[in-house]
Structure 1
Amino acid sequence: MNDDDTNPNPNPNTNTDTTDTSTDKSKPATAFEWVGGEAQVRALVDRFYDLMDLEPGYRELRAVHGSTLDVARDKLFMFLCGWLGGPQHYVERYGHPRLRARHLPFPIGIRERDQWLACMHQAMTETALDPTLIARLDESFFNTADWMRNKGG
């Protein structure tokens, strides 16, 4: 894998069919709108990190995040807003996400990938996202998380 952050799956709006091309205005135009906007993205991120603290199955994932999750919560919230097709808070504050490069200091293998994906899936389910959206986001998250792996196994 290269380290140039050329993610084969940059966001769910380009690699899954969450963008509305019809004239039906009742459908959300972006995954961000489908999620429910900033308040719901915040709820999703908060549930994700709460689960990391609460569920023993996410122990290894939690361990790489340091003693407090406040900064991680804010960064994931800002990133997801833009990644889902909403405001580009992360880019405005930190520049290009450079996901792979920013995560290289952390050993990410199959176990870490799968814990992250399971935790996010559980958070999406518990925050009552539309099941169709969850399926689409699961696919996009998998592709991105798999691309982030930097160790075997």
Structure 2
Amino acid sequence: MHHQTGKRWRATEAEDVTQETITLYEAIGGDATVRALTHRFYELMDTLPEAKRCRDIHPPDLAESEEKLYDYLTGYLGGPPIYMQKRGHPMLRRRHMVAEIGPQERDEWFLCFRQALEETVENEKLREIIWAPIEKLGHHMQNKE
């Protein structure tokens, strides 16, 4: 069965007889985890020397970028649709065209996101479910060779 981020996710714990259906947002710990994930992501981007090219295409102050990613991931994972309410349809590729995103920038972004995900989401299966569409999205955002 294919799990998609943002959709309802069926908990399949053997002891969970009720088979409660919850969102990925709820499964990873809701607001606190999404906040921790986005904060750690930008902290890594800001400090890892191997993420310098990715960092350089971002504004000097990362606060607004962090808020936008937090808003986006909240809705994307099945929480409140904050991003849509504030900014309308994400149109992520178009919004990122101002930045030159090549394979190196993309891979540095992946490095930071993957590490932040591993540090903030305990459950390995949930990390895998979240990572697959994030990786596709990252490849989609690339706009130069």
Q: Which TM-score band (shorter chain)? A: 0.7 to 0.9
Shift of 1:108: 1.1
Shift of 1:37: 0.5
Answering whether residue 98 of structure 2 is matched by residue 105 of structure 1, we say yes
Shift of 1:88: 0.5
Aligned equivalent of 2:119: 126
Aligned residues: 137
In structure 2, distance between residues paired with 1:13 and 1:93: 18
Give 1:88's match in structure 2, choosing from 40, 64, 81.
Answer: 81
Answering whether residue 59 of structure 2 is matched by residue 59 of structure 1, we say no
Counterpart residue type for residue 19 of structure 2: D
Give 1:24's match in structure 2, choosing from 19, 34, 44.
Answer: 19
Answering whether residue 36 of structure 2 is matched by residue 46 of structure 1, we say no
In structure 2, distance between residues paired with 1:117 and 1:124: 10
Answering whether residue 26 of structure 2 is matched by residue 33 of structure 1, we say yes
Aligned equivalent of 1:72: 65
Describe the superposition over 1:56-87 as per-residue Cα deviations: whole angstroms up to 9, x where unpaired: 11111111111100101111000000011110
Shift of 1:21: 7.9
Normalised TM-score (structure 1): 0.83
Instruction: Say if 1:107 and 1:151, in contact at 8 Å, map to a contact too.
Output: yes
Normalised TM-score (structure 2): 0.87
Shift of 1:13: 3.4
Shift of 1:94: 0.5
Instruction: Say if 2:106 and 2:142, in contact at 8 Å, map to a contact too.
Output: yes
Shift of 1:40: 0.9
Shift of 1:128: 3.7
Provide the secondary structure at the position in 2 that maps to 1:80. helix
Shift of 1:110: 1.4
Instruction: List gaps (5 residues or longer) in structure 2.
Output: 13-17
User: Which region of structure 1 is more displaced relative to structure 2, 97-106 or 107-116?
Assistant: 107-116
Instruction: Say if 2:33 and 2:121, in contact at 8 Å, map to a contact too.
Output: no
- What percent of counterpart residues are identical? 37
Instruction: List gaps (5 residues or longer) in structure 1.
Output: 1-10
Aligned equivalent of 1:150: 143
- RMSD over aligned Cα, in angstroms? 1.7
